Chain A
């Protein structure tokens, strides 16, 4: 145990770091290359040859169905080998700022697979869905308490869809007041790209306000940008720089003073559970990312879920149908029951399988567990920041919350090595790189978020790896320019991928339509 706590020796001389790599190395053919005519492991009975005779031939598929033919062992081997080419939380540390890559608890996987939950059809009569309806209602209550808001919708399938839901509700709110002059949404220059993209999708013009040198939203700039044309201001708190907005009260006062509403991007909730509640502070609406704060798995890009919490002003506009609790049990709102709703933002009720996992996570932690999550996340981030303070520039003096920004600008000037190269070299050390070049407001930056589920040993090993890499930047910069060396594939030709897109294998000619067995 003690040995692990000691600083690792610098790796500058040792280019062979193979054993550290946490990713396998067997590249795989694609399914069409593995396909052989006639390979087939039947899974359902074979119907009679006349099964489709009653379908008009003009509407039937003519010619065969060109899909790969494999038997089951080949399918399994193919995907298992592919899985081993992936880095994952279950294999290693992801210090990805803005993503909150915490451990995904296994009991959540078990819960989501319970047949009673997994096999329920979304249009089941309310009487048949009482278990799920109760779970959803209860989850809403937890999120209401965490946000300090009045009501929640669980419909949005992702944070970005939650943002769209929130902004559309704000739009409906102003329209209901007869105020059609509000055509702008203000976002800070450090905002996540989804914020301005959402504003555009909702038909608003985005106005960007700059941050101060201390990494806070510039209050004067915000006041200057606010006016009768402002529908909403979208803020992330803590900011995408991992800093709590110290002037949050004044910011929100300014927003409301101009008659606009305040949206909080809740991506960084992991820093403030039980420490700051957006509702009482003055936010009108916010979204959560369950795949960040509440541990639902990232799945290689999704699915997530983006529940939205609202205060009184926006409650009438929540998507329809809501889950209601009555004496007899739980039910969904009926058609026409709340005409002020903005309507549906998706089919059925929400990404319930994801929400079950979030529900299990919340119940497992409870009041103290959730506060401990934020405390440990913030402690770990500040600790890691202190370990790296001598190696990278830390642009902001303020204490960090759950993530921090570091810059390698001086390293670039000194050695020509960019943050991209440092990131790629981390792969050889067995780590997934942190977020790089975001937020856009800091030059040659990385955004590091350790989360609360990584041990001190892991944090130390990560810090030592970075220190070692920066030493390599001074002595062997080419090693970094060419990194990674030990991964299954190395730096990719992304220019050709974009100039001559190859987005699918060549069309396969069809298999015989009826299995000749």
Chain B
């Protein structure tokens, strides 16, 4: 089970990669495996502002649909258009080509700090192992 060390993680199995005052998010390999074959990812338009932990989209697999929650607050400056035609990218490469949204962070410092909402890789590994 891949849990890259350069990312932060939410209890809802989203990941966040911070790049200065921007950040990219997606869902973890654990989440993608639990959901099964992803068939559709519903994302809001660029320009939308999100609060931390706000529900902002839906990820659909054959048998389930799950809400997506914002790992941090910010404005959406890009969404991964490739997912419209190839939602399976989320299953195949959840931390790379399966990325979903790029944010301009409202509070880069807060996003960088660890909290219950944004865990470090070890804390997330423990969460997943606890099942």
* Shortest CB distance A137–B (Å): 44
Distance between Cα atoms of A494 and B62 in the complex (Å): 6
In the complex, whether A498 has a CB less than 8 A from a CB of chain B is yes
Distance between Cα atoms of A498 and B40 in the complex (Å): 8
In the complex, whether B120 has a CB less than 8 A from a CB of chain A is no
A residues 467-517 near B (Cβ < 8 Å) are 494-495, 498-499
Distance between Cα atoms of A495 and B62 in the complex (Å): 6
Chain A interface size, under 10 / 10 to 19 / 20 to 34 / 35 or more = under 10
In the complex, whether B87 has a CB less than 8 A from a CB of chain A is yes
**Please, which residues of chain B bring their CB within 8 A of the CB of A498?**
37, 39-40, 60, 62
Distance between Cα atoms of A499 and B38 in the complex (Å): 8
* Shortest CB distance A206–B (Å): 14
Per-residue 0/1 for B55-74: is the Cβ within 8 Å of any A Cβ (1 yes, 0 no)?
A: 00000101000000000000
In the complex, whether B88 has a CB less than 8 A from a CB of chain A is yes
* Shortest CB distance A310–B (Å): 34
Distance between Cα atoms of A498 and B60 in the complex (Å): 10
B residues 1-56 near A (Cβ < 8 Å) are 36-37, 39-40
Distance between Cα atoms of A371 and B60 in the complex (Å): 44
**Please, which residues of chain A bring their CB within 8 A of the CB of B60?**
498
**Please, which residues of chain B bring their CB within 8 A of the CB of A495?**
36-37, 39, 62, 88
With CB as the reference atom, state the residue of chain A lying closest to B86. A499
* Shortest CB distance B40–A (Å): 7
Distance between Cα atoms of A494 and B64 in the complex (Å): 12
Distance between Cα atoms of A108 and B74 in the complex (Å): 62
* Shortest CB distance B39–A (Å): 4
Distance between Cα atoms of A495 and B36 in the complex (Å): 9
**Please, which residues of chain A bring their CB within 8 A of the CB of B62?**
494-495, 498
Distance between Cα atoms of A168 and B31 in the complex (Å): 38
Distance between Cα atoms of A498 and B87 in the complex (Å): 10
* Shortest CB distance A292–B (Å): 24
* Shortest CB distance A197–B (Å): 13
Distance between Cα atoms of A161 and B62 in the complex (Å): 26
Distance between Cα atoms of A283 and B87 in the complex (Å): 46
**Please, which residues of chain B bring their CB within 8 A of the CB of A499?**
37, 39-40, 87-88
Distance between Cα atoms of A58 and B63 in the complex (Å): 46
With CB as the reference atom, state the residue of chain B lying closest to A501. B39
* Shortest CB distance A438–B (Å): 12
* Shortest CB distance A416–B (Å): 15
* Shortest CB distance A61–B (Å): 35
Distance between Cα atoms of A317 and B36 in the complex (Å): 45
* Shortest CB distance A208–B (Å): 15
**Please, which residues of chain A bring their CB within 8 A of the CB of B40?**
498-499
Distance between Cα atoms of A504 and B55 in the complex (Å): 34
Distance between Cα atoms of A498 and B39 in the complex (Å): 6
* Shortest CB distance A82–B (Å): 25
**Please, which residues of chain A bring their CB within 8 A of the CB of B87?**
499
Distance between Cα atoms of A495 and B87 in the complex (Å): 10
Per-residue 0/1 for B107-124: is the Cβ within 8 Å of any A Cβ (1 yes, 0 no)?
A: 000000000000000000
Per-residue 0/1 for A134-157: is the Cβ within 8 Å of any B Cβ (1 yes, 0 no)?
A: 000000000000000000000000
* Shortest CB distance B87–A (Å): 6
With CB as the reference atom, state the residue of chain B lying closest to A420. B63
Distance between Cα atoms of A494 and B40 in the complex (Å): 13
**Please, which residues of chain A bring their CB within 8 A of the CB of B88?**
495, 499
* Shortest CB distance B59–A (Å): 12
B residues 84-122 near A (Cβ < 8 Å) are 87-88
Distance between Cα atoms of A34 and B60 in the complex (Å): 36
Distance between Cα atoms of A499 and B91 in the complex (Å): 13
* Shortest CB distance B118–A (Å): 27
* Shortest CB distance B131–A (Å): 11
Distance between Cα atoms of A494 and B60 in the complex (Å): 13
* Shortest CB distance B106–A (Å): 27
**Please, which residues of chain B bring their CB within 8 A of the CB of A494?**
37, 62
Distance between Cα atoms of A83 and B36 in the complex (Å): 32
* Shortest CB distance B85–A (Å): 9
* Shortest CB distance B69–A (Å): 18
* Shortest CB distance A440–B (Å): 10
Distance between Cα atoms of A499 and B60 in the complex (Å): 10
With CB as the reference atom, state the residue of chain B lying closest to A495. B37
Distance between Cα atoms of A240 and B58 in the complex (Å): 27
Distance between Cα atoms of A495 and B60 in the complex (Å): 11
* Shortest CB distance A240–B (Å): 19
* Shortest CB distance A412–B (Å): 13
* Shortest CB distance A72–B (Å): 39
With CB as the reference atom, state the residue of chain A lying closest to B36. A495
With CB as the reference atom, state the residue of chain A lying closest to B39. A498
Distance between Cα atoms of A495 and B40 in the complex (Å): 10
Distance between Cα atoms of A498 and B37 in the complex (Å): 10
* Shortest CB distance A335–B (Å): 43
Distance between Cα atoms of A499 and B37 in the complex (Å): 9
Distance between Cα atoms of A499 and B36 in the complex (Å): 13
**Please, which residues of chain A bring their CB within 8 A of the CB of B36?**
495
CB within 8 Å of A: which residues of B? Answer: 36-37, 39-40, 60, 62, 87-88
CB within 8 Å of B: which residues of A? Answer: 494-495, 498-499
Name 16 A/B residue pairs within 8 A (Cβ), A-sorted.
A494-B37, A494-B62, A495-B36, A495-B37, A495-B39, A495-B62, A495-B88, A498-B37, A498-B39, A498-B40, A498-B60, A498-B62, A499-B37, A499-B39, A499-B87, A499-B88
Closest 5 CB pairs of A and B: A495-B37, A498-B39, A494-B62, A499-B39, A498-B62
Q: A495-B36, A495-B88, A498-B62 are in contact. List 10 more A-B contacts (CB 8 A).
A: A494-B37, A495-B37, A495-B39, A495-B62, A498-B37, A498-B40, A499-B37, A499-B39, A499-B87, A499-B88
